Chain A
């Protein structure tokens, strides 16, 4: 037997892979249930029966569904995502730029929102039930209550069209410098931050408040420690597990759930790429995207689990 933590990690990863496999099967079934097929969708209103038949033959759609699924699966296991049915381009190439963009946006949104949420949460605890707490909670809850497209359009109208500070179209390309890129993504980052902030902030506040009820915090206070030290040294480490869980869920959301923000700001990320291919019934691309999304979710959740285990000695030594 190895180290208990390593065992646990190995177990989680194996479960994750199994989940991924099941997810890919489910997605394939889902795309088969949808009406219409890729040949018809590609040709659209200009689909003559001959053209559809020719295209079906060319794309290998005449094979039974399970044959196509296992062909695809064996390709993926060998590291080959294949080519998109709809335009014959390499999927790996298409996805890699989109994924890079998505991660770029997500990481800047995370870099802004996570520290902000935790700090605001700590402040809210410190001034609980007084005006700073109410102000922080009020603003962040208001911003999560507004739909993200509404916040996006408000920002576009005032900040971009009226004031002209930042562009409303956040299209990136290779020739841009980092500064130009950051300028381009400012508005979407602000919207995403406002959307995920409240959840993380409230959870930080609740988790720490929960710990603050404990006897050992009272002891710490009676020792005469100043309030921030109490929170930092005694309350925060014990509250970290639920906070990390919420942070990870929100990070996952920043990667996989931002289609609306991508559409509003015309950001060339994974979401729009996936939607385009779903409507074209381009199964290999949908599968590849879904696989990436599923692995992001699963790996972030594994990280959350591991952090909670490491942070909590009781979980580290299971009976």
Chain B
């Protein structure tokens, strides 16, 4: 019966089944209140967006130190508000494809070294100016200049030269990169008038909402941009982000009807929240993952047998059950999962194996305890996860000492500094190349496992410029296996993004790229 209802819901979402007809059928098979709500919103989706109203999101991850300058974006709230007022050249769609936004079309040269972006005509900034290739050029220059402090600098580094001619913006790269359009979807790269050179934090963009109120750490309000070019976004008259960093405050605000949607629902309350009438829990598996990082160049972790021993001594299933409460999936000691394009499903899953762990531990010749550093901020449940790891390692005869570090200063003093620590990757990088270039290339700033392998680097550069899909898949498979078997990263789990949305909201669709529809929830949904 569940299958039948799901089938009906799908039909309704595709618009193949009318709302009334669908609800009638659903009632006929005896659907519960909660399920009816979810079916209703699918049906509303099929009916098409409604205009008007004020859509309010209660989001965790905002601070009073936030600025409207996209170069400084770091927190979730800046990221999500940026997607309301700003727009990038391209975006990554829900199915991982490049979606054209301010760029109308993209033309690569045959060697994938030069890329031409044709800018969409007739798009206006909030200040009335037209978006031109010159604005795009200036924006990119601001994010890549010598003295920039942009969070997108890493993305921009491989660029040799840029130019704007007519309505075409062109980029020439040092080495070929078949994924360049994906890199341009980085959320820092919001196109600003004149690149935001003179007023970087003016909050003037070309997005569906204009900045009306900006009180960092408290609330952000946007008013509908009447001149927005795309009618499939910006349905509400006004959107509002209320910064709710306390998890209980978020849940209470949603239940009390003060907000329409919240992010970062804790796995332990998600089950309970699912039973509350009038709202739905939206959980989507993404590319974000939790990690334990070993430095491959630091004793005792410079011995691959010891690294393998640690990888076999962790119980991934148990972590998904107890830390994520089932809202996630097991990892395979590589940063890539099915959420990425060009992923090979056939790589063998590593499991908890005390015999192999003992064998490799003995072979490594290491004697005595191994020290793991963790902190509450490393990821949600990192301290508990380290303790679970300690227990499963004990079953393999390995003594794991767990040291709890203070949250404050963890990212500067412990992560990427100490030889064995807990951390996470948010999964904002949409392609394998970007993930590997960020943290596994020998020269990467955040090579947080100290993985220095010239053969791996060579494969990475080769795959980057390869335009033949089959060959690329094979290259990425080889790299994945290399990290899995010889790297310093232990990936016990990929975490789901869990949000909760009121039944008053329609048009909410899962997006594996990030929480809250990858930040587009306010721009794309509407009040039913």
Interface residues of A (CB under 8 A from B): 34-37, 40-46, 48-51, 54-55, 57-58, 84, 86-89, 94, 97-98, 153, 156-157, 160-161, 164, 167-169, 171, 173, 263-266, 268, 272-273, 276-277, 279-280, 282
Contact = CB atoms under 8 A, between A and B. Distances in A.
Contacts of A54: 146-149
A282 B65 contact: yes
29 contacts: A36-B409, A36-B413, A41-B412, A43-B151, A44-B411, A45-B415, A48-B154, A50-B153, A51-B148, A51-B150, A51-B153, A58-B147, A84-B65, A86-B67, A87-B65, A88-B69, A160-B256, A168-B252, A169-B249, A169-B252, A169-B256, A263-B245, A264-B246, A265-B249, A266-B243, A268-B217, A268-B218, A276-B217, A279-B408
B216 interface: yes
Given A45-B411, A169-B249, A273 B151 contact: no
Given A36-B412, A173-B219, A276-B63, A263 B246 contact: yes
Nearest to A36: B412
Nearest to A159: B256
Interface in B288-310: none
Given A36-B412, A57-B147, A263-B249, 18 more contacts: A34-B408, A41-B412, A44-B411, A48-B153, A54-B147, A54-B149, A87-B67, A161-B252, A168-B252, A168-B258, A171-B219, A171-B242, A173-B213, A266-B244, A268-B217, A268-B218, A273-B64, A273-B217
B58 interface: yes
B74 A42 contact: yes
B472 to A, nearest CB: 27
Contacts of B244: 169, 266
Nearest to A55: B149
Contact of B412 (A40, A161, A168): A40
A161 B252 CA distance: 6
Nearest to A267: B218
Contacts of A51: 148-151, 153
A164 B255 CA distance: 10
A42 B65 contact: yes
Nearest to B425: A45
A280 B63 contact: yes
Given A169-B249, A264-B246, A266-B243, A35 B413 contact: yes
A156 B252 contact: yes
A87 B212 CA distance: 18
Contacts of B242: 169, 171, 266
B253 interface: yes
Contact of B256 (A58, A89, A167): A167
A185 to B, nearest CB: 14
A268 B62 CA distance: 12
Nearest to A282: B65
Nearest to A59: B149
Contacts of A50: 153
Contact of B151 (A46, A49, A173): A46
Nearest to B255: A161
B154 A276 contact: no
Contacts of A89: 67, 216
Interface string B2-17: 0000000000000000
B161 interface: no
Nearest to B188: A46
A134 B128 CA distance: 70
Contacts of B154: 46, 48
B240 to A, nearest CB: 10
B165 interface: no
Contacts of B218: 171, 268
A203 to B, nearest CB: 32
A168 B256 contact: yes
Contacts of A37: 412
Contacts of B258: 167-169
B3 to A, nearest CB: 35
B167 interface: no
Nearest to A277: B65
A34 B248 CA distance: 29
Nearest to B246: A263
Contacts of B255: 161
B445 interface: yes
Interface in B42-97: 58, 63-67, 69, 72, 74
Contacts of A40: 411-412
Nearest to B151: A46
Top 6 nearest A-B pairs by Cβ distance? Answer: A36-B412, A35-B409, A86-B65, A87-B67, A46-B151, A168-B252
Contact of A156 (B58, B151, B248, B445): B248
